[in-house]
């Protein structure tokens, strides 16, 4: 008999079942077996995203479920209500088969549907014995509570999967921005050793990360700017400031230097402290500024050679420049 579809809701995501839930279900099945006084318990949970697959858990046997049992279990699924056979010997049309290659055929069967929050069947809990049996009201109550526990574990797994999916999506987006940012994010230990760097260091500066991580930051800094960087680290270490902004030159893989600006913070931990910095290339800004300064010097020299007075005022009529002729007068 073809296993019936348990659900047509393809929007549901796979809820099953991480390894940490294996022990949870094994404990529940053992509890049901002991309290119901039956040797065989079988839990079948359908994969919501793929009706051809299922997750099976059992206590008391190691062989596959027989076709006869599958037929009975399918009946529980289709009817969506408990199906109990106290004594199959009294019904010539009911065949339960054998378990564990035993010569004793199963006589007792009780199957209970497991539903989701929408009331759709997502699995079954079956208990079996080789002798006839009648479940007491207390045993039925225990089974009902166990099914509620299974449903709770399933919903917990489902919510966990949704959370994991959300976290993975956010992590993917973060990693994308992190690795494609125009800013390099890095970490230094107390001795100035680079202990971490974002992958875009290679894109921006050219060095492979294995050349960077484990090296002292001073290996990449222009010799004239090392003292400036060391002073910033010292100020942070002494907690004189919470963060420091540094401008310096850093060497690219091909050997030339470019200007960088870093915002550096110190992070305290139980094991000590480390520095976190994010830096960006400001070479164009520095070169533009230097060009303007050069142009200013050029025009000042021209104005200072003029025999006439030259004065420049701001909007408040205050002098901001006087050439040499004006100053002499």
Does the pTM surpass 0.85? The reply is: no
- Confidence at residue 173, expressed as pLDDT on a 0 to 100 scale: 76
Cα-trace Rg, the chain: 38
CA-to-CA dists, residue 242 to 166, 186, 255, 281, 288, angstroms: 34, 17, 33, 23, 30
Going edge to edge, which strands form the sheet with 108-115? 50-59, 40-47, 121-129, 108-115, 83-85
Those residues whose C-beta lies under 8 Å from the C-beta of residue 159, and which sit 6 or more positions away, are none
Query: Phi, psi (5° rounding) for residue 231?
Result: -65, -40
Q: Is residue 127 within a helix (H) or strand (E), and if so which, with residue range? A: strand 121-129
43 and 132 Cβ atoms separated by less than 8 Å: no
Structure tokens at 257: 């230097």
Buried b (16+ CB within 10 A) or exposed e, 271-288: eeebbebebebeeeebee
- Confidence at residue 159, expressed as pLDDT on a 0 to 100 scale: 82
Between CA 130 and CA 315 the distance in angstroms is 104
Average pLDDT, 10 consecutive residues per value, the chain (329 residues): 39 46 83 92 76 80 81 90 91 76 82 90 92 93 93 83 82 73 90 92 92 95 95 88 91 95 91 91 88 80 77 79 74
- Confidence at residue 201, expressed as pLDDT on a 0 to 100 scale: 93
- Confidence at residue 125, expressed as pLDDT on a 0 to 100 scale: 94
Q: Where are the alpha helices (DSSP H) in 126-278?
A: 137-180, 200-205, 209-212, 226-237
Between CA 168 and CA 205 the distance in angstroms is 29
């Amino acid at each position: 008999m073809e296993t019936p579809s348990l659900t047509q809701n393809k929007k549901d995501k796979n809820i099953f079942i991480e390894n940490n839930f294996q022990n949870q279900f094994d404990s529940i099945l053992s509890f049901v077996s002991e309290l119901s006084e039956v040797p065989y318990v079988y839990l079948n949970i359908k994969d919501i995203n793929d009706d051809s697959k299922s997750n099976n858990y059992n206590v008391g046997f190691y062989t596959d479920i027989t076709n006869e049992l599958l037929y009975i279990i399918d009946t529980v699924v289709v009817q969506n209500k408990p199906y109990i056979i106290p004594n199959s010997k009294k019904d010539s049309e009911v065949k339960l088969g054998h378990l564990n290659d035993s010569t004793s055929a199963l006589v007792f069967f009780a199957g209970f549907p497991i539903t989701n929050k929408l009331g759709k069947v997502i699995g079954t809990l079956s208990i079996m014995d080789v002798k006839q049996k009648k479940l007491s009201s207390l045993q039925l109550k225990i089974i009902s509570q166990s099914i509620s526990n299974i449903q709770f574990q399933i919903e917990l797994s489902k919510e966990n999967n949704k959370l994991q999916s959300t976290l993975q999506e956010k992590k993917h987006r973060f990693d994308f921005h992190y690795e494609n940012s125009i800013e390099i994010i890095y970490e230094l230990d107390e001795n100035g050793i680079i202990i971490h760097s974002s992958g875009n260091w290679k894109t921006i500066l050219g060095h492979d990360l294995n050349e960077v991580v484990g090296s002292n930051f001073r290996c990449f800094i222009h010799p004239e700017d090392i003292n400036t960087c060391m002073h910033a680290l010292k100020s942070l270490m002494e907690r004189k400031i919470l963060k420091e902004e540094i401008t310096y030159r850093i060497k690219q893989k091909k050997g030339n230097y470019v200007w960088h600006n870093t915002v550096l913070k110190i992070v305290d931990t139980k094991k000590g402290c480390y520095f976190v910095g994010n830096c960006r290339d400001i070479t164009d800004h520095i070169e533009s500024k230097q060009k303007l300064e050069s142009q200013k010097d050029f025009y000042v020299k021209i104005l200072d050679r003029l025999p006439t007075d030259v004065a420049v005022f701001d909007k408040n009529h205050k002098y901001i420049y006087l050439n040499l002729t004006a100053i002499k007068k």
